Structures are given as structure tokens and as C-alpha cells.
Amino acid sequence: MSMARRTPRGMLAAATATVALFSLAGPATAQSAAPEQPSATAPGAGVTPPQGRIFMVNPVQATGDQSLTDGKDADSAVPAAAYALAALRNLDAGGGLQGRWASVRSDTGPSAKVAEAAGYTRHDDRFEQVMAYFWVNEAQEYLQSLGFGTELPGANDRVQPVRINQWGADNSFFTDKKDEIRFGKGGVDDAEDAEVVVHEYGHAVHEAQVPGFGTSPEAGAIGEAFGDYLAVAVGEHADARYGWPRRTDVGCVGDWDSTGYTATAPHCLRRIDGSKVYADRVGEVHADGEIWSRALFDIRGALGARTADRIIVNAQFGFAPGTSFADAARTTIATAERMYGAAAAQQVRAAFAARQIPGV
């Protein structure tokens, strides 16, 4: 499918989007919903920022319980152990979820207030606004930690507009018409899963690096793959940074959001550790993206997270909007050699060769 500019790019293909309206469960107190939760505070922070209640990536990852279901947004459907109190960093002084790297607003309900953010739980749609703010900020902080915006060019180092929509459309997407991320509702509300949030942020990163990126089927697949890969990378980094548990395998993307679409465990929207090769392309960007994301995952395994991610993200500045797998692979190999030398480049080449991408 062609991914033309200004076409929304989301976790689910448009053909699978559904509409659902759910009644919300009655309120639960913050104390009863999630007592004695771990805290996510920036190491070495001088001033303690305000806190918000979030999921530690998502409830399935945090608990390992593959039987969890949405339960129509009921607090009782998710155990307290899935939550953490998290520092909401880089906020401005306005009292809402607007800051240096993210600006979150609701299309269909009241806006979250920073002063109340530690008390929201999933029955309250404002919880999703807090999730969106925290994880967009976390993703940009991760990129900053890799040197993007300092020694390397910035990668979407700006305020990212985010809109939470509760009308019932079960799809989330980034639209480059407004450079905006939108999160939908239905089954598990999309912003309840950090991997969905960061996946969509990955599209925003690509658009910031290469305006109009995704104008060919293979470029569209690379966009979906990078979104999946970045979601896993940021989640892993947060787990290590804050000491959170991960009780599912790392290759599974969207463990929580996918519970509404998959009948068997483990529940995954897609995987980044699959066995697809170039000949397995079917012309659908999400499916074909699993070829590219596996190559990125193998680069990470060979070079380590920091080195791999610096190469992967930096290489994307050199992609054409309608790049092919072959051209993007060659650009990534050349970036690895320029940054880290021939040995690193050979590891990157091997990862793409294992996916049988031509010309590498």
C-alpha cells in the first residue's frame, strides 16, 4: 500500500479499524487502585517534578499475565502492580500537560491537570493523557541521551502535538498534515499501551528527519518497522532506568493493546524478532515492516543498544522519502562505518543480509 504524504500512519491498518463505545466503570480512589507503587524519577534530578500515574510500559509486560482484558476500562481489570508513579518532566508552568517535548490535549473530554495526575487511573480518560505525555517525553529523552540534539542532529526535538480522541475510532496514527499524533479508543484504549504511544512517535521522528517520508511501499514498511523497534527500545530503556519488571519477551510489540485482536498468547500486534525475509513481502506495510524491524533487532543484538540506536536513527537522515529496503540498508551500513568503523559496518551488513535484502 502506498504511504503518501499526509496519509495517517498507525498501529493498525485502516481496514482493521473498528468503532466501539464503552461505558466507563465507576471511580476508584488512587490509593485503592495502586498502592505502594514504584516511582519513576529522573536519576540525579535537582528539583522533584510533579508525578503522574502511568503503566510500566503496559499491564501485560509488567505483570506477565496474558489473560488480562480491557473490561470496558474498569480499574478492576488491571492489577495495581501494573502502575507506577512517574515524574512528569519538562512541563511548562501552565498546569496542563504541555512541555518542552509534548503538548497533549483531549478532543472529547476534560483535560488532565498536572496537580491531579498522580490520582488518575484507567477508568478516567485523563489517565491516557498522562500516559501520552510521559511516554512521548520519555522517547525524546531517550533520543537526547543518544546524542541527538547535541553532538548529532536533533530527531524531532520540538514540542510534539498529541490529541486524545474518545469518540470510539479504534486506531491511532501520526498525520504529517499537522505533524500531530492522535490516539483512539476501542478495546484497550490505545494510549494505555506505551508501545503504541512510542510507535506513533516513531512516525513523527521519521517525518522530522525526512519530510514526506513513506511515499513508497518499502519506505512505508520501514516507517512501521522503526516505530515498532523504537517502542521496544524506549520500553527497555525505561525498564532499566527505573527498575521496572518485564515479564514478557522483548520481541512482542503491543502486548496490551493486542489483547483485543488476538486469541492466543502471547498477545502481540507484531514482532521484531520474526523470521521473515525479503521474499516474504506481501505489499502491506505493517506485515512487511517485520522484515526491517528484525534487521534492526539483530543490529541491536550485535552492537548493543546505544551503538545500534545511534547508527539506526542517524542513518535515517539520509533516507529518501520513497526509499527502498536496499537503499536504506546501504545508507545504514555506510553510517555505521562512518561512525564506528568497518567492524561495526560488517555487523550491520550481516543483519540486512540475513533478511536477504538485495544489494548488501
State pLDDT tens for residues 232-247.
999 999 999 999 999 9
If one compares 238 and 48, the residue with the highest pLDDT of the two is: 238
Residue 188: predicted pLDDT: 87
CA distance 341 to 139: 27
Q: Is the pTM of this model over 0.85?
A: yes
Q: How confident is the model at residue 6 (pLDDT cuts 50, 70, 90)?
A: very low
Express as a percent the part of the chain with pLDDT over 90.
Answer: 77
What span, in angstroms and rounded, lies between the C-alpha atoms of 82 and 330?
Answer: 41
Determine how β-strand 173-175 pairs with β-strand 180-183.
Answer: antiparallel
Tell me the mean pLDDT in the region 254-276: 94
Question: How far apart, in whole angstroms, are the C-alpha atoms of residue 87 and residue 51?
Answer: 4
Tell me what percent of the residues of the chain surpass a pLDDT of 70: 83
Give the model confidence (pLDDT) of 60-72 as tens digits. Answer: 999 999 999 999 9
Smallest Cα–Cα separation from 227: which of 265, 260, 193, 267? 193
Could you tell me the pLDDT band of residue 184, with boundaries at 50, 70 and 90? confident
Per-residue confidence at 4, pLDDT binned at 50, 70, 90? very low
pLDDT bin (cut points 50, 70, 90) of residue 135 is very high
What distance in Å separates the CA atoms of residue 55 and residue 170, rounded to the nearest whole number? Answer: 20
Helix or strand (DSSP H, E) at 296:
helix 285-303
Cα–Cα distance measured from residue 264 to residue 239, given in angstroms and rounded to the nearest whole number: 25
CB atoms within 10 A of CB 335: 22
pLDDT at residue 316 is higher than 60: yes
Adjacent-strand bridge partners of 252: 271
Question: pLDDT band at residue 261, thresholds of 50, 70 and 90?
Answer: confident
C-alpha gyration radius of the chain: 19
- Res 179: pLDDT: 83
Lowest-confidence segment of 39-53, 79-93, 258-272 by average pLDDT: 39-53
Distances (CA, A) of 201 to 75, 139, 154, 174, 252: 27, 8, 14, 8, 18
Q: What is the mean pLDDT of residues 173-183?
A: 75
CB distance 191 to 57 below 8 Å: no
Strand partners, 160: 102
247-258, pLDDT tens digit by residue?
Answer: 999 999 999 999
CATH tag for 18-354 (out of 3.30.450.260, 3.40.50.300, 3.40.50.2300, 1.10.390.10)? 1.10.390.10
Residue 39 confidence (pLDDT): 60
Give the span between the Cα atoms of 349 and 359, in whole angstroms: 10
Q: Enter the DSSP assignment of 148.
A: B
For the cut 90, the answer to whether the pLDDT of residue 45 exceeds it is no
- CB neighbours (10 Å) of residue 321? 17
Q: Which one, of 143, 294, 253, lies nearest residue 209 by Cα? A: 143
pLDDT, tens only, 279-314: 999 999 999 999 999 999 999 999 999 999 999 999
What's the pLDDT band for 30 if we cut at 50, 70, 90? very low
Q: How confident is the model at residue 38 (pLDDT cuts 50, 70, 90)?
A: low
pLDDT in tens, 150-163: 999 999 999 999 99
Q: Which residues contact 232 (CB under 8 A, 6 or more apart)?
A: 195, 250, 251, 253, 272, 297
Whole-number pLDDT of residue 108 = 78
Residue in the structure block whose three cell numbers are 540506536: 309
**What local confidence, expressed as pLDDT, does residue 154 receive?**
99
- Look at residue 321 in the predicted model and tell me its pLDDT: 98
Task: Give the pLDDT confidence score for residue 260 in this predicted structure.
Answer: 86
In angstroms, what CA-CA distances link 271 with 97, 291, 293?
Answer: 31, 10, 8
Q: Taking all residues of the chain, what is their mean pLDDT, rounded to a whole number?
A: 88
